[in-house]
């Protein structure tokens, strides 16, 4: 025993030394680049330097950790110390959506966006209290393994495999999408090429070394992403408040933002701009009502304008613009209706006065309608929080990480470290959103179009979907209502807003890439393991040699990754929705069976099967009939929302229905066998003397 302890301690010290050196080396690398930038290194080279250095580093770790040993490949040899497993889980957990999207969501939706923040952290309480220690004691390789062992037979395992693949695949598509966006923006290649470059970075590591390589790479990725996230925010905080602790001092900034917000809600220039949007919406609405005549008239007018310009010998640019307007004109009256409806909606959205950042469940309506809207928002906030929390405690790629610690005790500690490292980023994001809002309210609004702050002008030319400002009322001054911001800009542009050199922008992009790659790694591994370990080894061919199992896993990893990249290149919808959907599905499918498997001995096979099918089925049914894109794909008819709950939170129906089904069906069918009940006892105690059940695989 004590030999194991000293070996573990020596291993821990060695890891600490490596990663301290590594962090120092990385900072030195950033400093060297910063000096090179001052000496005139072009920006695009800095981008390449970051991309090549970080992906090369991940590949290096992957090659050094290559393995074909089963326990190493699936669970990193079960000797990852709690602290490092915490960092790895942090990187595994924080995806492109957390790193780049979260602060943007908070900027745009204020208090209501905080549902993601508490949901994605509070879920770890459930992981710690209800799952991690018991799964570690069970000590196999995958989550379907647990279902198979606890409930017996292949059906629970098979449903587990299906659900694990479904939610991991949905989630991984969102990650690869993020990788594509970052690489394409960062080094200026096409989106599709960016996807495949990123994929190479993902594969080189998980392919060679499985969980072992992924774990040690994720630790490295965590360090990069947290440095990249904190440096710009701290700097911005110094610029605005003079204090380098944004999380402690942004309350004051929030008060100023609120005061300024009150002013902007009623400022005459703002109201004038909003009235213009309102008029645009009304005009477009009138054209929709006059369809199809208005469509024909509009097309004739556009064609006539081209003719007139040509006849009048106008400049080429004017003619080209008019021709473009003609080619872009809706092809039919039906197309016109949907295009114009969108215009009405976007104009109406811009015509509404901005909500206060800190106000919960805001509404612009008054009286009973206002109360109703407020209530719907409140219930949606609670439902979203619910789904994100229970989804956290059910996503296989996260739960799997707790198989890799040396003991139950370390698994418990490891959840603490996981949440601590995640917390560092998540409690900074709301501060960042408020600081950027302060900048926009105070330094962009009210400035002259001729002298916009540098970052605004720069981003408006790079990508109009992220930043566009039009002088709607033609007074030469920026009004808040004239600014259109894409959420992703908040994190990407912070270095420039804070006046930092370009090297920090490169660092932020490298951090975003690290976040997306690390999550994609964990997810792909989950999918490949579910297929190779659970489906092939456990269900189809139990006599496979260990080498062959690992080989099959590697081949599947490649196939799944390419398939995911192909799906991603089709650009399937909204990232945040995909991520949220994965959480809802995981919560509905896994949570009841996993938790009841530990806490209720009476839960049996049929209960598990019925519960998982009912839970996941309800969740998928609700999404397929309420989310517009799914309705289009599956050809379903739209139904009304249940209690006004958005499709992203479908798990709020799926999980309870799954749980109730599990309880009822279990109670109606036979009690589980003596062995199963012994199994439950076995996972409940970290170490039971005289225990005859053996589950831990090595």
Strand-pairing partners, residue 467, are 485
DSSP characters over 323-356: HHHHHHS-SSHHHHHHHHHHHHHHHHHHHSPPPP
> Which structure tokens are listed for 177?
């999408």
Give burial (CB, 10 Å; 0-12/13-18/19+) of 162. Answer: middle
Candidate list 178, 180, 406, 512; residue touching another protein; CB under 8 A:
406
Strand, coil or helix: what is 272?
Answer: helix
Beta-sheet pairing, 467-469 with 483-485: antiparallel
412 part of the interface to another protein, by CB under 8 A:
yes
- Interatomic CA distance for residues 252 and 308, integer angstroms: 58
Q: How far is the CB of 134 from another protein (least distance, A)?
A: 10
CB-based contacts of 251, cutoff 8 Å, min separation 6: none
Question: How many other C-beta atoms lie within 10 A of the C-beta of residue 571?
Answer: 11
695 part of the interface to another protein, by CB under 8 A:
no
**Which residue stretch of 46-54, 341-349, 420-428, 436-444 sits at the interface with another protein (rule: CB under 8 A)?**
420-428
408 part of the interface to another protein, by CB under 8 A:
yes
Candidate list 87, 389, 432, 435; residue touching another protein; CB under 8 A:
389
Whether 652 and 387 have beta carbons less than 8 Å apart is answered as yes
545 part of the interface to another protein, by CB under 8 A:
no
Side-chain-facing half-sphere of 536: CA atoms under 13 Å: 18
Tell me which long-range contacts 617-622 makes (C-beta under 8 A, separation of at least 24). Answer: 617/654, 618/588, 618/650, 618/653, 618/654, 618/657, 618/658, 619/584, 619/585, 619/587, 619/588, 619/589, 619/650, 619/651, 619/653, 619/654, 620/585, 620/650, 622/647, 622/650, 622/653, 622/654
Q: How far is the CB of 371 from another protein (least distance, A)?
A: 11
- Interatomic CA distance for residues 603 and 612, integer angstroms: 12
Q: Between the CA of residue 500 and those of 16, 170, 202, 381, 459, what are the distances in Å?
A: 31, 36, 30, 36, 15
Side-chain-facing half-sphere of 222: CA atoms under 13 Å: 28
Binding mask 425-454 for another protein (x = CB under 8 A): -xx--xx-----------------------
Binding mask 204-243 for another protein (x = CB under 8 A): ----------------------------------------
Nearer to another protein, 21 or 427 (CB): 427
CA-derived radius of gyration, the chain: 27
> Which structure tokens are listed for 365?
């309506």
124 part of the interface to another protein, by CB under 8 A:
yes
Candidate list 67, 684, 695, 697; residue touching another protein; CB under 8 A:
684
285 part of the interface to another protein, by CB under 8 A:
no
199 part of the interface to another protein, by CB under 8 A:
no
118 part of the interface to another protein, by CB under 8 A:
yes
**Which residue stretch of 173-181, 296-304, 356-364, 624-632 sits at the interface with another protein (rule: CB under 8 A)?**
356-364
592 part of the interface to another protein, by CB under 8 A:
no
655 part of the interface to another protein, by CB under 8 A:
no
Candidate list 332, 366, 637, 692; residue touching another protein; CB under 8 A:
692
Q: How far is the CB of 130 from another protein (least distance, A)?
A: 7
Q: How far is the CB of 133 from another protein (least distance, A)?
A: 7
H or E segment to which residue 427 belongs? none
Candidate list 2, 313, 332, 543; residue touching another protein; CB under 8 A:
2
Nearer to another protein, 15 or 118 (CB): 118
Nearer to another protein, 126 or 586 (CB): 126
Binding mask 60-79 for another protein (x = CB under 8 A): --------------------
> Which structure tokens are listed for 455?
């970052």
- Interatomic CA distance for residues 630 and 646, integer angstroms: 14
Give burial (CB, 10 Å; 0-12/13-18/19+) of 154. Answer: middle
- Region 239-278 residues binding another protein, contact defined as CB under 8 A: 247, 251-252, 254-255
398 part of the interface to another protein, by CB under 8 A:
no
Give burial (CB, 10 Å; 0-12/13-18/19+) of 242. Answer: exposed
Burial 276-296 (b: 16+ CB within 10 A, else e): bbeebbeebbebbeeeeebbe
4 part of the interface to another protein, by CB under 8 A:
yes
Nearer to another protein, 107 or 277 (CB): 107
9 part of the interface to another protein, by CB under 8 A:
no
- Interatomic CA distance for residues 344 and 281, integer angstroms: 5
420 part of the interface to another protein, by CB under 8 A:
yes
Whether 460 and 484 have beta carbons less than 8 Å apart is answered as no
Strand, coil or helix: what is 546?
Answer: helix
Size of the site for another protein (CB under 8 A): 61
Candidate list 378, 571, 602, 638; residue touching another protein; CB under 8 A:
378
Q: Between the CA of residue 611 and those of 200, 203, 239, 554, 623, what are the distances in Å?
A: 39, 35, 54, 32, 18
90 part of the interface to another protein, by CB under 8 A:
no
117 part of the interface to another protein, by CB under 8 A:
yes
Q: How far is the CB of 549 from another protein (least distance, A)?
A: 27
Q: How far is the CB of 398 from another protein (least distance, A)?
A: 14
Candidate list 47, 62, 133, 210; residue touching another protein; CB under 8 A:
133
Q: How far is the CB of 209 from another protein (least distance, A)?
A: 25
**Which residue stretch of 138-146, 312-320, 417-425, 644-652 sits at the interface with another protein (rule: CB under 8 A)?**
417-425
Strand, coil or helix: what is 249?
Answer: helix
Q: How far is the CB of 601 from another protein (least distance, A)?
A: 11
415 part of the interface to another protein, by CB under 8 A:
yes
- Interatomic CA distance for residues 585 and 391, integer angstroms: 7
370 part of the interface to another protein, by CB under 8 A:
no
604 part of the interface to another protein, by CB under 8 A:
no
Residues of this chain that interact with another protein (CB under 8 A) are 1-2, 4-5, 111, 114-115, 117-118, 121-122, 124-126, 128-130, 133, 247, 251-252, 254-255, 358-361, 374, 378, 381-382, 385, 389, 406-410, 412-413, 415-416, 419-420, 423, 426-427, 430-431, 678, 681, 684-693
């Amino acid at each position: 025993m004590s030999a194991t302890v000293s070996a573990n301690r020596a291993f821990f010290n060695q890891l600490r030394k490596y990663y301290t050196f590594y962090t120092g080396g990385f900072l030195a690398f950033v400093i060297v680049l910063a000096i090179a930038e001052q000496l005139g290194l072009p920006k695009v080279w800095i981008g390449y330097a970051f991309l090549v250095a970080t992906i090369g580093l991940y590949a290096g770790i992957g090659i050094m950790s290559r393995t074909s040993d089963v326990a190493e490949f699936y669970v990193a040899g079960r000797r990852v110390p709690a602290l490092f497993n915490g960092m790895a889980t942090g990187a595994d957990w924080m995806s492109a959506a957390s790193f780049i999207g979260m602060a943007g969501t908070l900027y745009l939706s204020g208090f209501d966006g905080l549902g993601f923040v508490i949901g994605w952290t509070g879920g770890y309480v459930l992981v710690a209290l209800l799952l991690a220690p018991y799964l570690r004691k069970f000590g196999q390789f995958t989550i379907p393994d647990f279902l198979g062992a606890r409930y017996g037979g292949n059906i629970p395992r098979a449903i587990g495999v299906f659900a694990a693949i479904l939610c991991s695949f949905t989630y991984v598509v969102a990650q690869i999408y993020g990788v594509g966006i970052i690489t394409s923006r960062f080094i200026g290649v096409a989106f599709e090429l960016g996807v495949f470059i990123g994929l190479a970075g993902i594969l080189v590591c998980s392919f060679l070394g499985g969980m072992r390589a992924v774990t040690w790479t994720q630790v490295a990725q965590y360090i990069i992403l947290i440095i990249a996230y904190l440096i710009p925010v701290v700097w911005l905080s110094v610029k605005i408040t003079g204090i380098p602790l944004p999380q402690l001092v942004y309350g004051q900034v929030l008060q100023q933002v609120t005061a300024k917000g009150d002013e902007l809600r009623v400022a005459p220039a703002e109201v004038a701009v909003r009235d213009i949007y309102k008029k645009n919406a009304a005009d477009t609405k009138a054209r929709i009502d006059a369809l199809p005549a208005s469509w024909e008239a509009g097309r004739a007018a556009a064609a006539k304008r081209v003719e007139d310009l040509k006849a009048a010998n106008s400049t080429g640019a004017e003619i080209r613009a008019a021709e473009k307007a003609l080619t872009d004109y809706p092809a039919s009256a039906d197309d016109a209706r949907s295009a114009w409806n969108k215009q009405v909606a976007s104009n109406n959205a811009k015509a509404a006065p901005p909500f206060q950042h800190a106000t919960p469940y805001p509404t612009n309506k008054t009286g009973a309608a206002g109360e109703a809207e407020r209530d719907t928002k409140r219930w949606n906030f609670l439902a979203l929080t619910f789904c994100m929390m229970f989804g956290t405690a059910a996503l296989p790629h996260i739960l799997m990480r707790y198989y890799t610690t040396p003991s139950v005790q370390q698994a418990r500690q490891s959840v603490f470290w996981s949440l601590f490292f995640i917390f560092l980023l998540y409690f900074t994001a709301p501060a960042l959103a408020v600081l950027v809002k302060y900048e926009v309210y105070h330094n962009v609004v009210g400035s002259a179009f001729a002298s916009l702050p540098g970052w605004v002008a720069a981003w408006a030319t790079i990508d109009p979907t992220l930043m566009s400002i039009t002088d709607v009322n033609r007074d030469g001054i920026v009004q808040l209502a004239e600014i259109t911001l894409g959420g992703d800009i908040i994190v990407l542009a912070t270095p420039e807003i804070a006046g930092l050199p370009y090297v920090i922008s490169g660092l932020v992009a490298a951090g975003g890439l690290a976040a997306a790659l690390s999550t994609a790694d964990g997810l792909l591994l989950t999918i490949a393991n579910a297929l190779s370990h659970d489906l092939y080894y456990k269900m189809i061919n139990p006599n496979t040699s260990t080498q062959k199992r690992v080989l099959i896993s590697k081949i599947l990893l490649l196939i799944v990754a390419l398939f995911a990249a192909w799906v991603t290149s089709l650009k399937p919808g909204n990232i945040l929705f995909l991520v949220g959907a994965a959480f809802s599905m995981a919560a509905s499918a896994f949570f009841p069976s996993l938790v009841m498997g530990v806490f209720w001995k009476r839960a049996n096979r049929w209960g598990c099967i019925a519960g998982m099918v009912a839970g996941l089925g309800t969740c998928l049914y609700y999404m397929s009939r309420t989310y517009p894109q799914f309705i289009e794909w599956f050809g379903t008819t739209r139904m009304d929302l249940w209690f006004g709950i958005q499709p992203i939170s479908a798990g709020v129906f799926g999980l309870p229905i799954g749980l109730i089904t599990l309880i009822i069906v279990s109670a109606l069918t036979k009690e589980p066998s003596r062995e199963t009940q012994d199994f439950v006892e076995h996972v409940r105690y970290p170490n039971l003397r005289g225990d005859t059940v053996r589950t831990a695989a090595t």
